[in-house]
Amino acid sequence: MEILKLEHLAWDLPDGAGIIKDIDLSLESGKLVVVTGPNGGGKTTLAKLIAGIETPSSGHLFFEGREITGLDITERAKLGIAYAFQQPVRFKGLTVRDMLELASGKKLDDAHLCDLLGKVGLCANEYVDRELNASLSGGEIKRIEIASVLARRAKLSIFDEPEAGIDLWSFARLVETFQEVRRQKAGTLLVISHQERILSIADYIVVIADGYVRGAGPREEILPTLLADERSPRCPLGKESARV
Amino acid sequence: MNKITESLLRVVSEFGGSFQGAYNVREDGECAGRQSSANIKIESKKEGPGLVIHVLPGTKGETVYIPACVTHGGIDDLVYNDFYIGEGADVLVVAGCGVHNEESTEARHNGIHRFFLEKGARVLYREKHIGTGKGMGARRIDPVTDITMAENSYLEMDTTQISGVDSSMRKTTATLAAGARLVVRERLMTTGTEWARSDFDVTLEGEDAGVDLISRSVARGNSRQEFNSCIRGKNRCTGHSECDAILAESGSVIASPSLEAAHIDAALIHEAAIGKIAGEQILKLRTLGLTQEEAEERIIQGFLS
Ligand SMILES: Nc1ncnc2c1ncn2[C@@H]1O[C@H](COP(=O)(O)OP(=O)(O)OP(=O)(O)O)[C@@H](O)[C@H]1O
Ligand SMILES: [Mg+2]
- CB-based contact, B281 to chain A, within 8 Å: yes
Q: What is the pLDDT of residue B63?
A: 96
A177/A149 Cα distance (integer angstroms): 12
Q: Whose CA is nearest to atom 25 of ligand 1?
A: A39
Phi, psi for residue B40 in degrees, rounded to 5: -125, 115
Nearest to A89 among B216, B284, B290 (CB): B284
Q: Could you give the C-alpha distances from B173 to A121, A184, B128, B148, B300, in angstroms and in order?
A: 46, 61, 18, 9, 28
Q: Is A188 in the pocket of ligand 1 (CB under 6 A)?
A: no
CB B156 within 8 A of CB B191: no
Which ipTM value was assigned to this complex? 0.93
Asked if the Cβ–Cβ distance from B287 to A73 is below 8 Å, we say yes
pLDDT grade for A244, boundaries at 50, 70 and 90: very low
Mean pLDDT of chain B: 95
At residue B74, does pLDDT exceed 90?
yes
Please give all residues whose CB falls under 5 A of ion ligand 2, grouped by chain where several chains appear: A 43-44, 86
Asked if the Cβ–Cβ distance from A102 to B290 is below 8 Å, we say yes
Minimum CA–CA partner of B305 in chain A:
A93
Picking from A143, A204, A151, A139, the residue whose alpha carbon sits closest to that of residue A181 is A151
Q: Could you give the C-alpha distances from B14 to B20, B50, B67, B109, B125, in angstroms and in order?
A: 11, 22, 10, 19, 13
Q: Could you give the C-alpha distances from A85 to A51, A159, A226, in angstroms and in order?
A: 11, 7, 25
- CB-based contact, B243 to chain A, within 8 Å: no
- How far apart are the CA of B230 and the centre of ligand 2, in A? 44
- How far apart are the CA of A194 and the centre of ligand 2, in A? 10
CB B87 within 8 A of CB B57: yes
Question: What would be the CATH architecture of the domain defined by A2-243?
Answer: 3-Layer(aba) Sandwich (3.40)
Q: What is the pLDDT of residue A229?
A: 59
Q: Whose CA is nearest to atom 17 of ligand 1?
A: A44
pLDDT grade for B173, boundaries at 50, 70 and 90: very high
Minimum CA–CA partner of A152 in chain B:
B288
**Mean pLDDT of the region A115-120:** 93
Residues 65-84, chain A: which have Cβ within 8 Å of B? 72-74, 77-78, 82-83
Per-residue pLDDT reduced to its tens digit, A39-61: 999 999 999 999 999 999 999 99
* Ligand 1 atom with least separation from CA of A48: 18
What are the residue ranges of helices labelled H in chain B? 3-12, 279-287, 292-303
- What is the amino acid identity at position B273? A
At residue A188, does pLDDT exceed 70?
yes
- CB-based contact, B186 to chain A, within 8 Å: no
CB A200 within 8 A of CB A191: no
pLDDT grade for B225, boundaries at 50, 70 and 90: very high
- How far apart are the CA of A205 and the centre of ligand 1, in A? 20
Q: Which residues contact A155 (CB under 8 A, 6 or more apart)?
A: A3, A29, A64, A79, A80, A81, A187, A188
At residue A241, does pLDDT exceed 70?
no
Q: Is A214 in the pocket of ligand 1 (CB under 6 A)?
A: no
pLDDT grade for A236, boundaries at 50, 70 and 90: low
Q: Is A87 in the pocket of ligand 1 (CB under 6 A)?
A: no
Domain segments of chain A as ranges: 2-243
Q: What is the pTM of this model?
A: 0.87
- CB-based contact, A53 to chain B, within 8 Å: yes
pLDDT grade for A234, boundaries at 50, 70 and 90: low
- CB-based contact, B284 to chain A, within 8 Å: yes
A232/A223 Cα distance (integer angstroms): 15
